[in-house]
Structure 1
Amino acid sequence: MLIADDDEVTRSGLRTLLAAQPGISVVGEAGDGVEAVERVRLLAPDVVLMDVRMPRLNGIEATRRLLTAPAEAAGSAAAPKVVVITTFENDDYVTAALSAGASGFVLKRLPVRQIAEAVRVVAAGEAILFPAALRRMVTARPPGSAQALPRAALTGREEQVLRSMATGLSNPEIAQALTVSLETVKTHVGNVLTKLGAQNRTHAVVIAYESGLVVPGFAT
């Protein structure tokens, strides 16, 4: 993984603590968004732990460059997963980063073992979702600002899967809740991402909230 944060003390502390966690190898650091994009091109990390407020290029734009143009940003390697790390859960920049394709976000105040677990989960292809924060984002939108779901309409089962994703359920949990196989859930998730034009499951959830398919206060 690569750590991008403009505070050298924070960056060094995270590197030391995370490198000591099982299954995590820190291959590099970056002090701003421009350097983060350059280092990803050189080092091809699986995951980038990305601060939001950085000089030259903030974490949102760096995330967008890494994930919307992965071939240019990361050379021949696959685009990395991005986990936004921030001080405040309700930081407005967080939802923008999720829309840019980040796989989730964690708070800097969390114990290092929880940050490490978030990195592992995202590296495995899952997402770190905070439905309450997404609901606040939608609540703050002006009335009538909902956007239609893009591209092809979802099937009834695909909508169920997307709503389950919006509550933070993992693929195995969705399979159990809907009484279907894990492979079936993976197929539905893939179809949802393709139909919505979403970069990952977190982006799909943002689209679900923005479109009104999932509304504040929704629960399975």
Structure 2
Amino acid sequence: MVEDDPVIVEHFREIIQEVDHLELVGVANSIAEAKESLRDKTDLVLLDIGLPDGSGLDYLPEIKSKFDCKILIVTTFGDRETVVSAISAGADGYLLKDSGPKKVIEGIDLTMAGGAPISAAAAVYLLDRFREAAANTNNKSPLSQREEELLRLFAKGFKYKEAAKILEISPLTVGNHVKSIYRKLAVNSRSEAVFEAVTLGYIDL
């Protein structure tokens, strides 16, 4: 578990230790600590978003690239933007921090079985987006080739300066492209932009 709030850690620890088939093998309080402690045998990571040294969503792609494990985002709010951001970053689902024992165990078991625990409201939203994508499969992408390249890099976890270096453009130009992407896709974050572009068939990952 990657979580810096000891109260939340203890909440999940107490729930998990009551179940025979689950074991909390370690806790990291930051991204840096997680990088030191995560091991290949990890089956699932409970990942907080707001960590002392960065966002769990930014660290998520790195976990996915290095370890064959499931990732559940542990969040305070199950709002649409959080869910979309988590899924866009590669999360297998999310759990609310104040979830009771039944919800926590169900969420973990569902994820390990290949499911994706999300709220009903989020599921409806995602279904609507995929229906829209199906209806627009023949639509031409409104994004430029450079904007699509940039979104693919964001999807892999690269940040502004890193993307600028790879594409051999300035960070300022990257910022201008991002503003254009946000306007065209009617979104407010990189993760939402990636999610929308993939869902609508504008880019492949």
* TM-score, normalisation: structure 2: 0.58
- Which residue is equivalent to 1:170? none
1:159 aligns to what?
none
Instruction: Give the 5 Å matches for 1:140-179.
Output: none
Counterpart CA distance in 2 for 1:23 and 1:101 is: 25
Q: Give the conservation status (yes or no) of the 8 Å contact 2:95–2:118.
A: no
Structure 1: stretches of 5+ with no match in the other structure:
71-77, 140-145, 150-205, 213-220
Conserved in 2, the CA contact under 8 Å of 1:135 and 1:209? no
Matched with 1:75 is none
Among 39, 42, 47, the alignment partner of 2:44 is 47
Q: Does the CA contact (< 8 Å) of 2:8 and 2:97 recur in 1?
A: no
Q: Do the aligned partners of 1:4 and 1:49 also contact (CA within 8 Å) in 2?
A: yes
Query: Residues 31, 48 of structure 1: CA spacing in aligned structure 2 closer, same or farther, 3 A cutoff?
Result: same
C-alpha spacing 1:21/1:122, structure 2 compared with 1 (3 Å): same
Q: In structure 2, how many angstroms separate the alpha carbons of the residues matched to 1:17 and 1:129?
A: 19
Equivalent residue runs for 1:23-172 within 5 Å: 23-40=21-38, 42=39, 44-67=41-64, 69-70=65-66, 78-90=67-79, 92-130=81-119, 132-133=121-122, 136=125
- Determine if contact 2:73/2:93 at 8 Å carries over to the other structure: yes
Distance in 2, matches of 1:108 and 1:57, equals 18
Deviation at 1:207, TM superposition (A): 6.2
Q: How many residues align?
A: 142
What is the percentage of aligned positions where both structures have the same residue? 27
Deviation per CA, 1:162-212: give whole Å up to 9, x if none.
xxxxxxxxxxxxxxxxxxxxxxxxxxxxxxxxxxxxxxxxxxxx5698318
2:197 & 2:21 partners in 1: Cα distance?
33
Partner deviation per Cα, 1:41-68 (whole Å, 9 max, x = no partner): x36310111111111132101211111x
Tell me the residue number matched to 2:13: 15
Shift of 1:26: 0.7
| Structure of higher CA gyration radius | 2
SS in 2 for 1:28: coil
In the other structure, the counterpart of 2:168 is: none
Q: Which TM-score applies when normalising by structure 1?
A: 0.54
Distance 1:95 1:119 in 2: 19
**Do the aligned residues in 2 keep the contact of 1:37 with 1:65 (CA within 8 Å)?**
no
Unaligned runs of 5+ in 2: 129-134, 139-194
Displacement of 1:95 in angstroms is 1.8
**Aligned amino acid, residue 113 of structure 2:** A
